[in-house]
Structure 1
Amino acid sequence: MTRILRIATRGSALARAQTGMVADQITAATGVPTELVIIKTEGDTSRESLASLGGTGVFASALREALTRGEVDLIVHSLKDLPTAAYPGLVIGGVPEREDARDVLCAQGGVSLADLPEGARVGTGSPRRRAQLLSLRPDLEVVDIRGNVDTRLRSVERGDLHGVVLAAAGLERLGRLAEASEFFDLELWPTAPGQGALAIEAREGDDITELLSIEHGLTRTAVRAERSVLATLEAGCAAPIGAHATLDGDLLVLTAVVYAPSGEAELGCTRSATLTGVDDGVVAEALGAAVAAQLLEDGAAELAPLGGAA
């Protein structure tokens, strides 16, 4: 009997698209057939803000429960939505190559952020994006929105909002990147730790050799550094924090910024570490911890609610 890998996903168009991409890559590389299993999460059914629900981790819990019960074999997560704390019995078995980590603006008339009218209404469900928007354009009315990509883009098409801020990678996976009116430079606008990357979670001890075919070690190393910032600060995935790591030869460069929710102030830190090919993950985590420690020493806990202040 041919083994079929059952891969859990949320039911949104984006979740199904990115899970389907991973499934196709696994089958193409290994010949192992796959089956997508749609699972509803609290984040999909509730209309409350992500912050009030406890952050984007609400999207992961139902999927993880299905995996631990043996109902599926793998889960595909957007890494930016995955809590940094380890989940008992589960491991990140594969991290494919990262796509574009930038945020984009999708605005009426295809205009840039600078060209939006005074007092324009811009939608986002992310406290980080809210702070970044207000830091550049304090006159904006930033509207807390929920819903999938189509819902958010329709709010602009209908004229309910002048624009929305979304992830470039998500639009690319849906074939809608052409609707972006401006790409925000990561040096000015660092995004959520892990943005643009996917994580495939599996049960600890399972044979997951199929995942070796899609593993991208450099991406895993970079996102480990970014997520280490969050873990050290004890901040949730929805906290007003941006972090992005890049590789320049064997040099891993990490920048992280903590924002006041109002956008009126921010603190940043950039540090680097040399990778040798031995224990690079440990080096990456140490780099993230060092950046977070510097941010705390500089007073980041006075800007945003961070558990790492102690």
Structure 2
Amino acid sequence: MSLPLPLSVLDLASVGKGETIKEGLEASVSLAQRAEGWGFRRIWYAEHHNMRSIASSATSVLIGHVAANTERITLGAGGVMLPNHSPLQVAEQFGTLATLHPGRIELGLGRAPGTDQQTFAALRRDPRASDRFPQDVQELQGFLSEESLVPGVEAFPGQGTEVPLSILGSSLYGAQVAAVLGLPYVFASHFAPDALEQAVAVYRREFRPSAQLGAPHVMAGVNVVAADSADEAARRLRAVQRTRVKQFLRAGERTLTDDEADAVLDMPAGEQVRSMTRFTAAGTPDVVTRYLEDFAARADADELIVMCPVVDRAGWFRSFELLAEQTGLAAA
């Protein structure tokens, strides 16, 4: 069974229980190498800060390392949180990547800080930086083209690399920015599903063609938990939900036990966790693929980017492998 649209991967560069950060990063390299062979279109890495379980905070550095250890798969940020950086610095970083790995680098941009307020303050950025997001995107575009918008300032490397840009979002605001600037729109429905259909409709209705993109292009995020049996998939999905509850709730200074997390999940209080991952394809590969087909139609998406939240490393790799085999990617 093949899907009628491309599949890409979102890798949070997770650090599993009992793993070192180095081991987590090595697993990300291994996934990229396998995904390249399986036929996934691209892999993106997201900028997060002050999170022990996510090792992609220095996003451009990680992309460079993965690019050096793969051959052809497209790599990018999903995304760089632009309020945390100056457009010039981002242009220099991704211009360097594009120069070293031509044709393989792209850049998704987000407006949120990707962290809590205290950590944002530690980044030494202006709290009002997000208000300038559309202007900063245009300034970044200028640095990556031949027409800088800042007189007397060019990005070296960066100038003329024309790194493709996308706008990430989970609200109508991001959809409107992407539409006005004529850029692809990526909706974070894998963890913030509420405004998906409305935002995509706004984006398609208000889209204006640009030098980069002549027609709207929507990528939607979705979670995938594929396993060799339905029972195994259900166990892994439950483990994912427990982990989420433990991240959100703490019993004083200690982490909740599995039984306590299960009790929360079975109460109305657990609905928030279940709701955040509403768009999750879980089950055997055929079940997962049918879900993705239905989800793509619901999201009016041109492409899906899948995130596997499975907490055990073997199951994480296997989930992507089963998806590739079932959808025909591995045979392409």
TM range, normalised to the smaller chain? Answer: under 0.3
Relative to the length of structure 2, the TM-score reads: 0.26
Decide which structure has greater helix share.
2
Decide which structure has greater strand share.
1
